[in-house]
Amino acid sequence: MNCSVSELKELLGQYEHILLTAHVNPDGDAVGALAATGEMLRAWGKQALIVLDDDVDDKFEFLPGIRTVYKPDDVKTDASWLTLILDATGVDRIGKTAELIHGPLVNIDHHISNAHFADAEYIRPDYAATGEVLTDLFTQWGCAITPSMANALYLAIATDCGFFKFSNTTGHTLRMAALLVEAGAQPNVISEHLEAQSLVKLQALSEVLKHIDLYGDGKVAGITFTPDILQYTGEHTGGYIDYARTVKGVDVAFTVKYISAEETRVSLRSKATDVNAIAAVFGGGGHIRAAGCTIKAPLAEAKTMLIKEILKAL
C-alpha cells in the first residue's frame, strides 16, 4: 500500500521499537539513509536498531550514525517491532535480516524495479536516491535535520547520482542537496572521506584498468573480477565500474565478480540502454541506468550469458 507523507509519519510514530535495514553490499545511499533515519527516530524517542547482513565499507565509518550496526544474529525482535527497509526493492535484498521481520513492514525506496512487498510503502522512482526521498520526507514532517544527519543524507544523494553528474540528477535533487548544505553538510569533507584510499588500493586500480575488455564494437566495456584480481582489490569493488563507463563510445558497462564456484555478482551501468531490463532477465533489477543481479553460474559462463543479453538490448 502506498502511503501519503503524513500517513507514513503517523505509522512510524505508533511503534517504539524500529528495526532499520537496507540492501546487502550497502552503498553510500543505503548507509547514509540508515544513519540519518536512525538519528531521526532516536530524536523521536524510539529504540531504532540498524541491522545489516553485511560489513560496511570503511570509507563510510566517518558517519557517526553508522558506528553501531548489528548483524542479524545479534538481535532479537518480536511482533512489537516495526521493520523499516530503506533503499531495497524486496525482502530478498536484505539477506538474513529478513528473519527478524515479525511485525509490520515499511519500505522507503526509489528503485523502478521495486517489488511493492511491504505493508506500507513510499516509493519515488523519480528521485535519484533514498537520501533524496528522506530529505524531502523529514522536511515535510518538520523534523530538525542536524549537521550529522545532513552529512549522511548528502552522502546518500551524492553517491547515487555520481556527485550530481548522472542523468538522475534533477532540480529537486540539487534543491535537497542545497538544503542539506544549509543544515550543515560538508561536501568537501564527504568527498575527502570517500576518495581517500590506501596506496595499495590505489595501485590495485592500475591492475583493474588492464582488465577492461570491450565488446559490441566498443559499445560495451566489462571488468571481470576473478579471485586473482580480488586479491588486489579486496571485496569492495563498487567504484571500478565507473572507469569502464567512461571509456569513449561505451554505452553499457558491466562488472562480473566471482562469489563462489556457482555464483557470480553482476553490476550494470549505461548511458542509454535500459540495464534494469537486462538485470531483470536474471532476477535482479535497479534503475534504468544502474542495475545489478546475481547469476547462479560460474564466472565465465555467467559472463557469456550476460554479454549475450547486453548485445541483444543495444
- Single residue of 285, 289, 299, 302 touching ligand AMP by CB under 6 A: 285
Strand order in the sheet with 212-215: 212-215, 220-225, 252-260, 263-270, 290-295, 285-286
Q: Contact 277/215 with Cβ under 8 angstroms?
A: no
Does residue 168 touch ligand AMP according to CB under 6 A?
no
Question: Over the range 188-223, which residues count as b (16 or more CB within 10 Å of their CB) and which as e?
Answer: eebeebbeeeeeeeeebeeebeeebeebeeebbbbb
Verify binding: residue 222, ligand AMP, rule CB under 6 A: no
Among 120, 190, 253, 290, binds ligand AMP (CB under 6 A): 290
For the chain, the helix, strand and coil percentages under 3-state DSSP, each to the nearest 5 = 45, 20, 35
Which among 140-148, 158-166, 282-290, 292-300 is the span making contact with Mn ion, rule CB under 5 A? 158-166
**What single DSSP character describes residue 166?**
S
Bridge-based pairing of strands 105-109 and 81-86 is parallel
**Nearer to Mn ion (CB atom), residue 110 or residue 303:** 110
Is 30 an interacting residue with respect to Mn ion (CB under 5 A)? yes
* Torsion, Cα of 196, 61, 228, 204 (10° steps): 0
Q: Give the residue, chosen from 122, 286, 303, 310, that forms a contact with ligand AMP under the rule CB under 6 A.
A: 286
252 binds, among Mn ion, ligand AMP, none (CB under 5 to 8 A by kind): none
User: Shortest gap between Cβ of 153 and Mn ion (angstroms)?
Assistant: 12
- Measured in degrees and rounded to the nearest 5, phi and psi for residue 220 equal -125, 135
Is there binding between residue 56 and Mn ion (CB under 5 A)?
no
Specify burial of residue 67 (Cβ count, 10 A radius: 0-12, 13-18, 19+).
exposed
Cβ nearer to ligand AMP, comparing 65 with 292 = 292
Interaction mask 94-133, ligand AMP, x per CB under 6 A:
-----------------x-x--------------------
The one among 53, 57, 87, 132 contacting Mn ion by CB under 5 A: 87
Q: For residue 70, what is the DSSP state?
A: B
Q: Which is nearer to ligand AMP, 29 or 183 (CB)?
A: 29
With the C-alpha atoms ordered 189, 143, 16, 21, is the resulting torsion angle positive or negative?
negative
Query: By CB under 6 A, what part of segment 36-95 binds ligand AMP?
Result: 89, 93
The whole-angstrom separation of Cα 221 and Cα 227 is 20
Smallest gap, in angstroms, from Cβ of residue 25 to ligand AMP? 6
Instruction: Give the interface with Mn ion as residue ranges (CB under 5 A).
Output: 27, 29-30, 87, 129-130, 160
Residue numbers of the site for ligand AMP (CB under 6 A)?
Answer: 23, 25, 27, 89, 93, 111, 113, 238, 267, 284-287, 290-293
